[in-house]
Amino acid sequence: MRIGAVTFPGTLDDVDTVRAIERAGAEAVALWHGDADLRGVDAVVLPGGFSYGDYLRAGAIARFAPVMEPVIDAARKGMPVLGICNGFQILCEAGLLPGALVRNHKLRFVCRDQWLRVESTTTAWTTRYEPGAEILVPVKSGEGAYMADERELDTLEGEGRVVFRYVEDNPNGSRRDIAGVSDGSGRIVGLMPHPEHATDPLTGPTDDGLGIFLSAMDNVKQGAA
């Protein structure tokens, strides 16, 4: 199985994303922001960082990078796509996920380990978890507050598309403590915390994030069966 990790100018976490993909047992494929195709990958991860310096808005320029055309096309055809932190912002800017990420409520960059609750285990990226499981992964962002209007929030809740929720403490002021959401198919997921930094307890707080990448592998294998 081949999972692509996209690098934009300003991306910081592509190397850790590649390491997480490989630790899960998949082949990591480096994709560049200027690429015109996805090199035959089975899934795509948009890693965290500060693409294009976060000018205009976080993710606003990256959304128009050449590689995003095939990413958007593949996502709409059913390819699993994960956006982490800045990648989540890019997916929202591209219209693949609803809502927007804005400045943290205390207007400060937050960097710490954060407990999350897995609210949905039916997405392409969360089947390895038990419903309600609590996982510990790092969060590090300055524009991580998830916002949507009440109607959209009610839709997300009603359709089971809130995938991750902050527990114990909300680090950024996200509406309804939302840390991650999915599209209607469950194949496109975005979250602000960083599961790629929690795949080995030697270098991260836990290995709780590894299940996200293992889930994607399971999903692709089932689709190919």
Q: Which residues are catalytic, by number?
A: 85, 194, 196
Please give the Cα distance from 13 to 50 (Å, whole number): 10
> Residue 98 gets which letter from DSSP?
S
Q: Is 142 exposed, middle or buried (0-12, 13-18, 19+ CB in 10 A)?
A: middle
Listed residue (193, 215, 13) closest to 115, CA to CA: 193
Nearest-10 Cα torsion for 66, 86, 130, 182: -60
CB neighbours of 71 closer than 8 A, spacing ≥ 6? 6, 38, 44, 46, 81, 94
Pairing of strands 162-166, 178-182: antiparallel
Distance CA 151, CA 153 (A): 5
Pairing of strands 134-141, 178-182: unpaired
User: Shortest CA distance to 84 belongs to which of 160, 1, 147, 140?
Assistant: 140
